[in-house]
Structure 1
Amino acid sequence: MRRFLLIVGCLTLLVSCQSKEEVKQEDATESAHLTIKLGSKAFTEQYLLMKMTALLLMEEGFDIEEMRFLDSPSIRDAFENKVIDLYWEYTNTAKTIYHKNGPGYDSLEAYESVKKEDEKNDIIWLEKSDFNSSWGLIMKESFAKQHQLDSVSDLVTYMSNQEHPSLKMATNDEYLIREDGLSHLEDVYQFTVNKDQLLAVDSELLSLAVKESRVQVAVGMITDSRIEDYHLVVLEDNRKAFPPYDAAPVVQRKMIEQYPEVQEPLEKLSASITNEEMIGLNYRVDVLHQDVGKVAKAFLQEQGLLKME
């Protein structure tokens, strides 16, 4: 009987050990296959940032779902409602649009401000990049040279001269309504753009609208790689109307606490992106028409963030 009980006890212990090991394996499998939902806004550099993030997190064993949103308000709404777990945001977009605190012109102070404010709502800003996706006034190089326009103030003076016909200006819909948008630009430079002068177009078409002379000037991103390719110039913002828009990964607190391994690869990516790097990546997608995924992967491999195959 004792021998029988001993055998039963050993078998029970063995089954128990196997069950615990199976549970551990199941937990590991569940962790490895957690789906992280990534978001991006509707323009090239955001697609690139989302794709690079996806590739890095897939390397860590996560499944990824990518989602694209029209503009800043729509992606922020999705993020606050936990529709997505992670996306790349810009410091002054958060400071002016979401927090209603007005633009900040010191790069580090703007970052610390949004980081502190969002942390109250369990939104975590990881380390920012040196990539500043700011706005600027863009026009044809030939037009600027012909009329000796080097700065925004030069343009305002030119526009106020009644001998000159009204210039057409393009921007996207978001810039027309945001606090640091067109009304702010008008206040800083003391001028007015009439409604019949304005053309609202998709962000991706702003530089093209200038190139094709549909407008004479556009409010676009200074990191648009087509500026040089289309022989355009960015006018000097001599009164500092355009604050810095440094990009950083923004994540849900619950996710980063549960899966802290997400943080290191993303902050390494942040540290590797400069304005020059992003302009080059945008150029490969927008001008050379290379695939976003292939461009993102090549960059990560060049930076040593992803293994070469």
Structure 2
Amino acid sequence: MKQRLGIKVLLLLGVMAWVLAACAPRSETKAIRVASKDFTEQFILGEMYAQLLAANGYRVERKLNLGGTPVAHQALLAGEIDLYPEYTGTGLLTVLKLPTQSDPGTVYQTVKEEYARQFNLIWLDPAPMNNTQAIAMKRERAEALGIRTISDLVARAGELVMVGPPEFQEREDGLPGLRRVYGEFAFKAYKSVDPGLRYQALNSGEADVTVAFGTDGEIAAFDLVVLVDDKGLWPPYQVAPVVRKAVLDANPQIATLLNRLAPYLTDSVMQRLNYEVSGKQREPADVAREFLQQQGLLK
């Protein structure tokens, strides 16, 4: 009789332990590791993702400012991080090394399917913003040299100094892609700098041309000219969270929470938010929180 009673007690204790574990708040479970690459927009987006998850009960570990695309992608594959913001065009050209395409829906569907098949990674909903690769010049300099398109730039490249992030020299959608589409050429020099210092170098006269992105706040703030990609090198670059499937399977609400954010991220919104950080020197976390609160996504 005592043995039966002991077994019943053990079973009851086991059931109670299971119930308590199931009812435990998410903050007691494994942290969701939110990462970003190494430039302003990524810091803001990474903070938005982290703050949305934290506000909804998830324990979050930030791993922002990891580095360029290869570093962030490999960290995701290695299970060192759980999600980060990625661009559809970068996924298509740099990661998958597929031919460029111009239709945003086709590009998104391609990367979504191939990431799931090759890497077991899931793309959530893309934002309408298009942070396309671009090349920009000071308006006065571009007009003086008669440069309006990338073809015009290539014709005079030997006279010009370009500034940009280190990875632009290696990426398929960087200098190698430009040479593949526009023909062999060389700038007088290429100055590798931290992405946040590109416009400073342009404005100080240290460079004539800069690598730019469609949502950079400095384009409007400094009245820069974005050169026309007249041979269509660059595809659309919509941003979306890329998440490890195992993490999403265990935490399906992550998709719902982060997908709510996507429609709010337009070109004009991201240009404004980026300039709050890069131009006005505000903290990405503060800019992200303020925006989320304004949209009613955070209390």
TM-score, normalization by structure 2? 0.90
Paired position in structure 2 for 1:27 = 22
For 1:290, the equivalent position in structure 2 comes to 282
- In our comparison, the structure showing a higher alpha carbon Rg is 1
Give the corresponding residue for 1:187.
180
Q: 1:293: how far off?
A: 1.1
The correspondence for 1:41, drawn from 7, 14, 37, is 37
Which string of whole-angstrom CA distances, capped at 9 and with x for unpartnered residues, describes residues 216-267 of structure 1? 1112212111223233221122222222111111111111111111111100
RMSD: 2.3
Alignment partner of 1:37: what SS?
strand
Question: Which segment drifts farther, 59-68 or 226-235?
Answer: 226-235
SS of 1:23's equivalent in the other structure is helix
**Pairwise CA distance, 1:17:** 6.2
Deviating more after overlay: 248-257 vs 30-39? 30-39
Partner SS, residue 233 of structure 1: strand
Alignment-derived partner of residue 76 in structure 2: 79
Counterparts of 1:47-196 in structure 2, within 5 Å, are: 47-67=43-63, 68-120=65-117, 121-157=119-155, 159=156, 166-194=159-187, 196=188
Q: Contact 1:32–1:61 (CA<8 Å) still a contact in 2? A: yes
Q: Which runs of 5 or more residues in structure 1 are unaligned?
A: none
Q: Equivalent residue of 1:305, what SS?
A: coil
1:115 is paired with a residue whose SS is helix
Q: TM-score, normalised by structure 1?
A: 0.87
Over residues 132-188 of structure 1, what are the superposed CA-to-partner deviations in whole Å (9 max), with x where a residue is unaligned? Answer: 11111111111123333322233334x17xxxx711112222111112221221232
In structure 2, how many angstroms separate the alpha carbons of the residues matched to 1:37 and 1:155?
42
- Structure 1 distance, partners of 2:56, 2:28, is 10
What letter matches 2:127 in structure 1?
S
**Most deviating of 249-258 and 175-184:** 175-184
Q: Quote the residue 1:235 is aligned against.
A: 227
The Cα shift of 1:30 comes to 5.7
Alignment of 1:263-282 (within 5 A): 263-282=255-274
Helix, strand or coil for the counterpart of 1:290?
coil
Per the TM alignment, residue 126 of structure 1 is displaced from its structure 2 partner at its CA by 0.7
> Which amino acid in 1 is paired with 2:21?
E
**Structure 1: distance between partners of 2:247 and 2:11:** 32
1:127 Cα deviation (Å)?
A: 1.0
- Displacement of 1:112 in angstroms is 0.7
| Contact 1:134–1:244 (CA under 8 A) maintained in structure 2 | yes
1:18 is displaced (CA, Å) by: 7.5
Q: CA offsets, 1:38-70, max 9 Å, x none?
A: 110000110111100011101121111111311
Percent identity, aligned pairs only, is 31
Residue 197 of structure 1 is matched in structure 2 by: 189
The ranges of structure 1 where at least 4 consecutive aligned residues each deviate by more than 4 angstroms after the TM superposition are 12-19
- Paired with 2:94 and 2:227, the residues of 1 have a C-alpha distance of 25
The one-letter code sitting in structure 2 at the alignment partner of 1:181 is G
For 2:153 and 2:290, the matched residues in 1 are separated by 40
Task: Verify the 8 A CA contact 2:44 2:288 in the aligned structure 1.
Answer: yes
Amino acid at match of 2:24: T
Alpha-carbon distance between aligned partners in 2 of 1:149 and 1:98, rounded to the nearest angstrom? 31
What is the letter of the counterpart of residue 71 of structure 2?
S
Q: Is the deviation greater in 146-155 or in 231-240?
A: 146-155
Q: State the alpha-carbon separation in 2 of the partners of residues 191 and 100 from structure 1.
A: 20
1:192 shift after superposition: 0.3
**Structure 2, unaligned runs of 5 or more:** none
SS of the residue corresponding to residue 177 of structure 2 reads helix
Q: Which amino acid aligns with 2:271?
A: I
Q: How far apart, CA to CA, are the structure 1 residues paired with 2:58 and 2:99?
A: 37
Alpha-carbon contact 2:93-2:172 (below 8 Å) kept: yes
Could you tell me how far apart the structure 2 residues matched to 1:252 and 1:108 are? 22
Check whether the contact 2:214–2:267 (CA below 8 A) recurs between aligned residues: no
Question: How big is the shift at 1:20?
Answer: 3.6
1:89 Cα offset (Å): 0.7
